[in-house]
Amino acid sequence: MSNLVSVPKNGSLSNTNSNLNFPSWSSWIDDIFNRELPSVLTSNFSTGMTMPQVNIRETADAYFVDMAVPGMKKSDFNINLDNQLLSISTESSEEHTHENENFTRKEFGYSAFKRSFNLPETINENKIEAKYNDGILSIHLPKKEEAKQRPPRTIKVS
């Protein structure tokens, strides 16, 4: 496949005049945003939590929601059900202080997430259960009796 546009090494698509030694405005902006960030900005001030991955599976009797959230405690989770909307959230903060004769260093981190799911009306809301084990939050969403899949049966003709 042939290239339609030749892109300079800095990734800028702007035309530059080779007679001028001063960079164009857009290449100057590109240069700022393409630089490596100073280590002070990339240091580990946060706990590094991102939006957790979720697996949802259905069986004949229930739905199961499994969420990968290692490093949390059971008490960190807020699980709410409001009009068929299941919301799972957590919020945590961390602070470390290192004191020495000549300096005090304070580091802190904050992380939070919220995931929401619209549940079908076939869920038995009174029997929802949640467990947290080995970094996995598991929520069991049982179906109402009338919504459970039943095995096929043969009907005799009389």
Domains and CATH numbers, the chain: 54-145 (2.60.40.790)
pTM: 0.59
Show the 3-state SS of the chain.
Answer: CCCCCCCCCCCCCCCCCCCCCCCCHHHHHHHHHHCCCCHHHHCCCCCCCCCCCEEEEECCCEEEEEEECCCCCHHHEEEEEECCEEEEEEEEEEEEEEECCCCEEEEEEEEEEEEEEECCCCECHHHCEEEEECCEEEEEEEECHHHCCCCCCCCCCC
Query: Mind listing the pLDDT tens digit for each residue in 22-53?
Result: 556 666 666 666 565 554 444 444 445 578 89
pLDDT > 90: percent of the chain: 35
